Homo-oligomer: A and B are copies of this chain.
């Protein structure tokens, strides 16, 4: 079965199935979404207008039995940042799309009618039907009413109330194997889906083979085994993430003075132990939740978990470090039960938990509620859900909220909220925030690996030396990994285990019957970054946008009393490759 591109035009509700152009055949995931967006979207267009396109693409290895290969990429011009954007997520959608032979689903245009629609994707193509009943519903109601919670063969990509309202912090939710949601989180892609009038997309792969065809099945199996072993043998991938989830980081990042506290005033949170991964695992175990859990089939790291309340009732899953940091240390709330409720609410509303929780800290900065006010925070999330004026403001993210309330301590780069690592005390990640093609983001060049976790060596987080090169190498590698459908956490093993990267290359070669080298993978990453950068430049971005807000330069952060001390020229060296 030849792979195909599906193209849906919401302006006339038409669908086309196209063969894959030669230039796109070697691409998947982020490489494919970014190349399509760069080729087909006017860089200066309105992100919520008819000229933007929303592209979904499984990774190159998605649909195979390679460990941790089930990530789905979505790309568009971001309404939050104005840059090109790729976001990726677990869930079942990538594997189902791959099994249906769909290399990309491109959604174009906006409806002429003020109407929401549902898309149904099957091996026969796409049908588009008006949707009224589920408009206004949160994601959990959508999956339940569609009776898709337990249907493993039918995926769901959905938006909540935030996406319907085209709020800049809206995400796109992707059903996971448990019928809960994973998020295409950052950059406001849910607003783009909302602008296209699509409430949800079902992906029905019933009747297809359980995995995609392989050019060389034996070679693939061998490489996949080597790769899985490399993951399982690694202390972070094989142990830490499974035991405590990504929230293993609270204590670690706090210990190095990099846990941004009370809107980036401190690098240490006195109540950090109360929100730590260790505490969370203890609570989950005591209450009978699940400590380990995968966001997609084939995950061997199991960094997710099911968090339950005192009565053992489900509260949330995929309860990540960045969310817990932002609701916790950033907002000074140390009650994990409240944080879990907030996480669940954000999943339901369909809004990025990093952008939103950082913004809730700004609501505290603005005096709307006090720092530490957990019940107040939950009420503000209800306002976002209900689309009240305050909810509308907060749903627009940190930068807009800062403007509306006249704040100067607004932690954003290119209008996207800075996540869970203080760039003054972990300087490599500061370079990543600045130079990211998508606004402040940690996953795009996760220097924490080397600055703190000492994967792939060690670069002292408090010194400037080596950070630009570290961030550049990781951003190139990440762009490649994001194209394979592999979870970014495989990078820990890739950095430390010399068998891991060759195994990935071998899997790609065995999947497609090609003969890539490790250098080709690096070249792909470089090419993706340069494509994204060129889009941004055409959209009006310059080096002057590759900067942290001035308060990081002006205010020292305890306990190291570190400041952001890179010169413009030092930052701009990043793009010299």
Q: Which A residues contact B (CB, under 8 angstroms)?
A: 43-46, 48-51, 79, 165-168, 191, 194-195, 388-390, 392-393, 396, 400, 403-406, 408, 538-545, 547, 549-551, 554
Contacts of A191 in B (CB 8 A): 406
Contacts of A51 in B (CB 8 A): 550
Report whether B404 and A392 are in contact in the complex, using a CB–CB cutoff of 8 Å.
yes
Contacts of A547 in B (CB 8 A): 44
**Residue from the list B49, B540, B554 in contact with A542, Cβ < 8 A:** B540
Instruction: Count this chain's copies in the assembly.
Output: 2
**Residue from the list B50, B168, B539, B550 in contact with A403, Cβ < 8 A:** B168
Report whether B393 and A44 are in contact in the complex, using a CB–CB cutoff of 8 Å.
no
| Given the contacts A167-B406, A403-B168, A550-B51, A544 and B392 also touching, CB distance less than 8 Å | no
Give the secondary structure class of A's interface: loop
Q: Can you list 12 A-B contacts (CB < 8 A)?
A: A44-B544, A45-B550, A46-B550, A49-B408, A49-B550, A49-B551, A168-B403, A194-B406, A388-B389, A404-B404, A538-B544, A539-B544
In whole angstroms, what is the CA distance A543 to B44 when docked? 11
Report whether B44 and A408 are in contact in the complex, using a CB–CB cutoff of 8 Å.
no
In whole angstroms, what is the CA distance A191 to B406 when docked? 8
Taking the closest CB of chain B, its distance from the CB of A501, in whole angstroms, is 37
Taking the closest CB of chain B, its distance from the CB of A413, in whole angstroms, is 12
Contacts of A390 in B (CB 8 A): 389
In whole angstroms, what is the CA distance A103 to B431 when docked? 43
Contacts of A168 in B (CB 8 A): 403
Report whether A404 and B408 are in contact in the complex, using a CB–CB cutoff of 8 Å.
no
| Given the contacts A167-B406, A392-B393, A392-B404, A545 and B550 also touching, CB distance less than 8 Å | no
Contacts of A389 in B (CB 8 A): 388-390, 392-393
Which single residue of chain B is at the shortest CB-CB distance from A48? B408
Report whether A166 and B550 are in contact in the complex, using a CB–CB cutoff of 8 Å.
no
In whole angstroms, what is the CA distance A543 to B538 when docked? 9
Contacts of A195 in B (CB 8 A): 406, 408
Could you say which of A403, A543, A549 has the most chain B C-beta atoms within 10 Å of its C-beta? A403
In whole angstroms, what is the CA distance A191 to B408 when docked? 12
